[in-house]
Amino acid sequence: MQPQPEQKNVVIVSGMSGSGKSTALKVFEDMGFFCVDGLPARMAPALIELFFNSSAKDYPGLAMGMDLRQPDFVGQWKEVLLDVQKFSVRPTILFTDSSNQILLRRYATTRRPHPLASGNLGLEGALEREREILEPIRAQADLVIDTSHYSVHDLRRVIQDKWESLSSRSQGMRVHLISFGFKYGAPAEADMVTDLRFLPNPYFDEALRPMSGKDEAIARYVLDSNPGHEYLRRLLEFLDFTLPLYASEGRYRLTMAFGCTGGRHRSVAVTEAVLAHLREQGFNVSVEHRHFSLG
């Protein structure tokens, strides 16, 4: 029996140790998925076959947690993906990440050993080594979620929102847009970061300050006159030229971040304009206004 990938989802959850992989799997479990954590990579094809031959009708999908707890995980990765393709399945890869500083703090709190730590390699060195080893998998991921500043509840909400957006759109390169405020920090997972602090700032207009970039009045203030109008025209022209090139190169995912001071006005207005344009062009695109409520 061949699986039907358009009807069922197969998700591989991986990422840095301590970055929230287990929480991510619990989210998929709450969404009704059949979930397995700590799965040896070589067992993935057998589990997928078993799932589609016996359990698929009972679950919306299968989520598998894989990481460095299993010996030679990265060495088996390419072989496993090739084996999975025999079932006409293209798994979605979710990679959780966090800054080393945050991971060090979490390990200090939980006092659990890192899988690469040893007598000759301390925790900080183990994290650096793990990041180096996992970089090829991170680069292939469909979703990269930086959990540095997320609570468990924040992470749950973000995964649910991103998964809903991801699963509702067609296959192909996925473009994820993030608006943010520089005073809260730029997104670590962004492939492109654009500084919009040169645009007119509605914050200094008391009548506009309570609004956000989602409001038409703010969008007009930022983008209807120059430099905003001309900037947006050139930005969209640039994206129309470059995004198909990224897609034809075989890229899985592209994350673009647009930042202003607080992440509420200019960055949101530009991100919403880019979102509308890319959807009109048929791109597989999702959006996250990261600091919207803080700006």
Q: Is 293 annotated as a binding residue?
A: no
CA proximity to 221, closest of 208, 235, 234, 230:
208
191 annotated as ligand-binding = no
CB 253 within 8 A of CB 174: yes
**Distance between CA atoms of 180 and 294, rounded to whole angstroms?**
10
d(CA 72, CA 78): 12
Contact of 88 with 1, CB cutoff 8 Å:
no
Is 19 labeled as ligand-binding?
A: yes
Q: Are 220 and 266 in contact (CB under 8 A)?
A: no
Amino acid of residue 145: I
| Alpha helices, DSSP H, located in 113-224 | 123-140, 152-167, 216-223
Answer yes or no: is 21 a known binding residue: yes
- Is 16 annotated in some ligand binding site? yes
Q: Which residues pair with 194 in a beta bridge?
A: 258
Assign 83 to helix, strand or coil.
helix
Is 67 labelled a binding residue? yes
Distance of CA 212 to the CA centre of its chain: 24
15 annotated ligand-binding residue: yes
The tokens 């969404």 sit on which residue?
Answer: 31
Query: Is 105 annotated among the ligand-binding residues?
Result: no
Determine if residue 70 is labeled as part of a ligand binding site: yes
**What sign has the CA pseudo-torsion 154, 155, 159, 162?**
positive
Consult the annotation and say whether 22 binds a ligand.
Answer: yes
Binding residues for ATP: 15-22
Binding residues for GTP: 67-70
Binding residues: 15-22, 67-70
